């Protein structure tokens, strides 16, 4: 029986090794350690999404709605995410928790702990799902674009599930596991739609700071 148990363990190890090798060779995933971060990421400040943060952002953005108001306002990453990403319950699964945001360099990052089954509809994650726990932290980093009045796009340029970095070519597939494709050429394949006030004309992230600009059509 001891030999059979040892053979069984060796068989499981061999299967896991084959799956990991296949995932690596096919580009499904790249492996990294939590310490493998850029200097910018090491000094990042993650902020939780809170109702108070959403109110602070709303108060700041309301200044852009007036012709006599400022041309731009600066908003904290967590506050902006809490305000603009109020539909995150539709972007991330409804049981997502620990939702946070950060501005790192020229990109906005959001992360949340989600059930991996919600990311694997139709087996979209392939063999990668065998290497994940029941719940994992999903981190998305990207750029905000104003598509048209009242509509913006969060274009995902980086993605991680747990400590696994998703190759850029496969990010659209992950994005579509989270939110269905929009079916419009206005949105990028790796883009997530977001609602914004009509008086916001541009959003820029630079040096960890988020600046929102007033549209030229504000009366």
Span 168-206, pLDDT tens digits:
888 888 888 777 766 667 788 898 888 888 889 999 998
137-140, long-range: CB within 8 Å, 24+ apart, which pairs?
137/98, 137/111, 137/112, 137/113, 137/161, 137/162, 138/92, 138/111, 138/112, 138/113, 138/114, 138/178, 139/109, 139/110, 139/111, 140/109, 140/110, 140/111
> Which stretch of 50-59, 70-79, 128-137 has the lowest confidence by average pLDDT?
128-137
Residue 2 confidence (pLDDT):
46
Query: Which pLDDT does position 193 carry in this prediction?
Result: 84
Task: For residue 217, give both structure tokens.
Answer: 């059509």
Strands 107-115 and 72-75, sheet pairing: unpaired
Please state, rounded to an integer, the average pLDDT across all residues of the chain: 76
User: pLDDT tens digit string along 98-119?
Assistant: 888 899 988 999 998 988 887 7
Select from 96, 88, 143 the least CA-distant residue to 119.
96
Distance CA 129, CA 179 (A): 18
Confidence of residue 211 (pLDDT cuts 50, 70, 90): very high
Q: Mean per-residue pLDDT for 35-50? A: 60
Residue 187 CA to residue 143 CA, distance in Å, equals 13
Percent share of the chain, pLDDT over 70: 70
Contact 160, 167 (CB under 8 A): no
pTM of the model: 0.73
């Amino acid at each position: 029986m001891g030999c059979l148990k040892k053979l069984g363990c060796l068989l499981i190890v061999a299967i896991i090794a084959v799956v990991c090798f296949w995932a690596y060779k096919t580009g499904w995933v790249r492996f990294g350690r939590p310490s493998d971060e850029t200097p910018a990421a090491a000094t990042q400040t993650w902020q939780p999404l809170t109702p108070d943060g959403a109110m602070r952002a709303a108060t700041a953005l309301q200044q852009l709605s007036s012709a006599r108001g400022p041309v731009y306002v600066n908003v904290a990453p967590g506050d902006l995410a809490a305000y603009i990403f109020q539909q995150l319950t539709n972007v991330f699964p409804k049981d997502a928790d620990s939702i946070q945001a950060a501005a790192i360099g020229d990109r906005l990052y959001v992360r949340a702990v989600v059930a991996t089954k919600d990311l694997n509809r139709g087996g979209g994650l392939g063999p990668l799902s065998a290497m994940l726990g029941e719940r994992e932290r999903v981190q998305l980093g990207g750029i905000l674009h104003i598509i048209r009045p009242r509509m913006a796009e969060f274009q995902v340029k980086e993605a991680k599930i747990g400590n696994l970095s998703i190759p850029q070519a496969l990010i659209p597939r992950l994005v579509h596991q989270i939110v269905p494709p929009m079916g419009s050429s206005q949105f990028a394949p790796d883009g997530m739609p977001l609602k914004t006030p009509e008086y916001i004309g541009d959003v820029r992230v630079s040096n960890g700071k988020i600046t929102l600009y007033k549209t030229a059509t504000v009366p």
